[in-house]
Amino acid sequence: MKNDKQVHIVPNSERGGWDVKSAGSGRAIKNHSTKNKAVDHGRQVSKNKKGELVVHKKDGTIQRRDSHGNDDYPPEG
């Protein structure tokens, strides 16, 4: 999947809370006080882009990915 269709949920160490960011963008789309709110918002953005939601842990590693569009490697079956 192209990176421009990825939406990342990342911790914001400066302001606190969690940011919803488009891949490759330096600025957050929105900052949320809780991770759950950020994930909900990011999921809507990802669905609109027909892209991929990438949720990170507090340490920055990837927790999970959810595809909402044309998957390069769809599951078999």
Per DSSP, what are the bridge partners of residue 65?
A: 54
Q: Which pLDDT belongs to residue 45? A: 96
Output the CA–CA distances (angstroms, integers) from residue 38 to 47, 70, 71, 74, 76, in the order listed.
14, 23, 23, 26, 31
Between the CA of residue 34 and those of 15, 25, 31, 39, 64, what are the distances in Å?
12, 21, 9, 9, 17
Which pTM was predicted?
0.85
How many CB atoms neighbour CB 62 within 10 A? 10
Ordered per-residue pLDDT tens for the chain, 77 residues:
457 789 999 999 999 999 999 998 889 999 999 999 999 999 999 999 999 999 999 999 999 999 987 666 666 65
Confidence at residue 76, expressed as pLDDT on a 0 to 100 scale:
65
Distance of CA 76 to the CA centre of its chain: 25
